[in-house]
A and B are shown apart, each in its own frame.
Chain A
Amino acid sequence: MGTMSERVVFWYGCNAVRHGDIIHSAIELLRAVGIESDPAGGPAYCCGTAKDGNLDAAAGMAARTVEKFNASGRDKVVTWCPSCHRHAGTFMTGVNTAQFTVSHITEMLHARRHLLAPLLTHAIERRVVLHQHSGFHEVDAYPLIADLLRLVPGLELIVTDYAAPGHMCSALAPHPTALKDVGRRSVELCAENDSDTLVTAFHACQRLLCGLATTDSIRVVNYVNLLVEAMGLTPPPDEYAAWKNAGSEAAIRAQIGPERIARIGAEFFAKQMLPELRKLPEK
C-alpha cells in the first residue's frame, strides 16, 4: 500500500450504485495509490444533468451538491461518472462557487501508476478488448485506462479504433438501433480479436453490456475489477451482472434472496427492477 498522502471526496454519481463492486474496487484502488477517499453518491449527490426539462430541479440539485462538497473540507473531488464530470465542469460550477477542484479517477490513478505498478503482481492470463466511446472529451480516459491495464502481468489488451457514439452506452439507450449496433460491434470486435472478454470503463456500459455473457458468451468486466484482481485481491462480486445473466426471474430472485427483496419492497422490485434485470442486450 502507498503512504496516504491525500484525502479527497470520491464522487461516484447516481446510477453507478447499481454496481457496488465497481465503487468498492475504485475506493480500493485510490487507497492503493495513497488517496484516502470520502465516498459520496446516489440521488442525494445528483449533479442534475438528467434534469434538462426541469431547471428548478437541475439548479437545486447542482447547488445542493456543490454546497455539500464545499462543506466537506476536501479541496478535491474525484469523479467516476463522465456525465457528472462534464456537468461539474460546466453547469454546476458555472453557477455555484466551488471551493474544490475536480479530477477524474482515471487521471488520478494514471498519475500515480508508479505506486500501483508494484502492487499488480497477480497474473491475469486473458486477452481482452477495451470497449470505448467517443464522447468524454473532457478527459482522454481510454489511453489512461489502457496504460493502467498494460501494467497487469499476463493481460493482453486489445485497443481497437472503434469508439461508440456518446460518452457511455446509456446515452444510446433512447436510440435502440444505435445501441444494438454497439452490442453487435462489440461482439464482432471480440471475435475478430480472438477474445472472450470485453473491458468497460464506465458503469453504464457495464450495465447495458454485461448481458453479453448470456447472449454471446462474452465476459464483460470493468477495468477497476481487473486491477484489483491483479493486486491479488478478490474483487467484490459483480452482482448486477450475475442477476442479468441468471437466466430466469426465479433465478434472479433466488440470487438476491427474499430478505433483500423485502428490504426494497416486493412490488417495487417486481415492477421497477425485474424488467431491467431481465433485459439482455439486443443486436
Chain B
Amino acid sequence: MKAETEQLLGYIERNIARTLEDCTTCGKCFEACPMTQYSDQLKGRSGGAVVAGIRSILEGAGGTPEALEWTRLCTQSAKCIPACPENVNPMLMMRLSRITSLGSTGGPAMLPDGKRDPNFFRRINAFSALQFSDAEIAEWQR
C-alpha cells in the first residue's frame, strides 16, 4: 500500500474509532435527516435501529439493509450535526459509512460506487477547453 493511502486509511480508522466511542445510537441524526422521506425502505423506521446498523457497518460487521439505504441516500445536508446530543459529527459518520460500504477500508463492497465514471475528468477538461484560453489552462490547471 502506498504511504499516502496508508495515512488516509489511518485517518479514516481514527475517525471511525472516535465515532464508535461517542455515538450512543440515540437516533436523533436519523430523525433530523431530510432525505429519509425519499425512501420507502426507511419510512417509519426507528432512528436508533438504523444508526445501530451504521455502527455495524463501521465495525466491519456488515450493517443492515436500512443502514446501507440511508448511507446511499446521504447528501450531506448537515441537518444531523446540530441534532446530535453527543457532539458526534453524524455527517462525517455517514461519509465514513459510505467509504466503508464501498469496500475502501478492506471489507466487501456493499454499495455500488455511482461515482465511477471513466469520463468524469475528461468531461471537466473538455468543458474547460471550451471556456478557457490555452494560457489560462496552462497556468491555472496544470
Contacts and interface: CB of A to CB of B under 8 A. Distances in A.
Given A56-B2, A59-B4, A43 B123 contact: no
Contact of A165 (B79, B124, B125, B136): B79
Contacts, number: 156
Interface residues of A, number: 59
B91 to A, nearest CB: 7
B77 interface: yes
- The secondary-structure label for the interface of chain B is helix
A17 B98 contact: no
Q: Give the most central of A15, A51, A240: most B CB within 10 Å.
A: A51
Interface residues of B, number: 53
A167 B75 CA distance: 8
Contacts of A193: none
A239 B73 CA distance: 32
A172 B45 CA distance: 22
A90 interface: yes
Q: Which 6 A-B pairs have the closest CB atoms?
A: A20-B131, A53-B113, A42-B141, A166-B75, A165-B77, A137-B78
26 contacts: A14-B124, A17-B125, A19-B131, A39-B140, A41-B141, A46-B121, A52-B98, A53-B99, A53-B109, A54-B104, A54-B116, A55-B8, A55-B104, A59-B2, A59-B5, A59-B7, A62-B8, A95-B10, A137-B91, A167-B75, A175-B38, A240-B131, A264-B130, A272-B126, A273-B126, A276-B123
